[in-house]
Amino acid sequence: MENALKGVKVLDLSRVLAGPLGTMLLADMGADVLRVEQPGGSDDIRHWYPFVGEESTYYMAANRNKRSMTLHLKTERGREIFEKLVKTADIVVENFKSGTLDRLGLGYERLKTIKPDIILCSITGYGQTGPMHKHPGYDPVIQAVSGLMDVTGQKDGDPTRVGIPVADIMTSHYVAISLLGALRVRDQEQEAQHVDLSLLDVQVSSLANIASSYLLKNHITQRMGNAHGNITPYETFQCADDPIMIAAGNDRMFAAVANVMGHPEWVDDNRFQTNRDRIEHRDELRALLEEVFAQKTAAEWEDLLSEHGVPCGAVNNIEQVFEHPQVQHREMVKKGEHETLGEVKFVRNPIRANEETLPIDQAPPVLGENTEEVLAGEFGMDEESLQVLKKEGII
């Protein structure tokens, strides 16, 4: 699968996370992704803490297997060069505020005249239309507006942001999925396409069962901490040392929990016979479970419950994650060679096909690492021409 997108050329104008992470997924599958940034850098995450050498670890997380060039799109010469790049590209990805590309003279209508079957993917907080289409939208704001924060956190606490930029990450997946579909349509119909992706649209669609509960039953899900509003026991419990998460998703699994804990009578208790019963008597059941969980360590309970088919696991910190034997067995950490840092580590793409993982052929590029290579190799520019472009601040 590593060469599934070989021959596909992507011009990546996007910044921060949703766009860069989405194009990185394409690059992992063999697409030639060329990041295009302003001279001096236009991606804010290049300046986000922490750093390794001069590089932001945040930037490093979303830009492997790409090339990088600098190009000043606010200059006539810069736009001319970009249009030449478009002629041989399949996809352009951008996440400027709605209307920015049009003001640069590089909007969808213009791109279509340059490459009649070009695919433009525009990523914004709120989409290309609607009363908020010009509003900026970063991940935490989208988590708030989408209702995600309202259903996250302790029951008696404040709405809480998820610990990762989940709106950006979810959107990045839709970037990759939509562009794979757009390539298929392009090949069938030879037409240009404009993909309009909104972080808010993505996060609202990701409400899944919570949205369905409201739309079909007018049920408004409340914050429940680590518990689940529809199933129990499906939450964390404190053991003799550390907490454990269990997910007894059906009556059979609950029976296994009861038997492992030495309380088979719970299975026939009228309060706990079905999930509906357990939901109605949630607090009583939790009190019983808490008392028993406290009698053994998390590791002991994990072994016992797993042996009987109950999904469960320790609540690991980040260090423990990368020391976990399953994570190590699956080779989730790979190494790549960076231009200035040498050998560096990355979390690999999780796709595994025919027992093969997708390679990390190139660490994230330093700013403008491939500018001269692109202009000399693809446009035949000589050294004198390149120096003129540098002097004029175009590259």
Question: CA Rg, the chain, in Å?
Answer: 25
Q: Which residues of 287-311 are buried (b: 16+ CB within 10 A; e: fewer)?
A: ebbeebbeebebeebbebbeeeebe
168 is catalytic: yes
Closest Cα to residue 13, out of 77, 57, 109, 78? 78
How far, CA to CA in Å, does 45 sit from each of 56, 123, 232, 258, 272? 7, 17, 40, 49, 50
H helix runs in 132-189, sequence order:
139-145, 166-189
d(CA 115, CA 191): 10
Q: Is 91 helix (H, G, I), strand (E, B) or coil?
A: strand
Q: Is 120 helix (H, G, I), strand (E, B) or coil?
A: strand
| Catalytic one of 150, 168, 201, 242 | 168
Q: Residues, the chain, total?
A: 395
For residue 44, what are the contacts with CB-CB under 8 A and spacing of at least 6?
15, 16
- Residues with catalytic annotation? 168
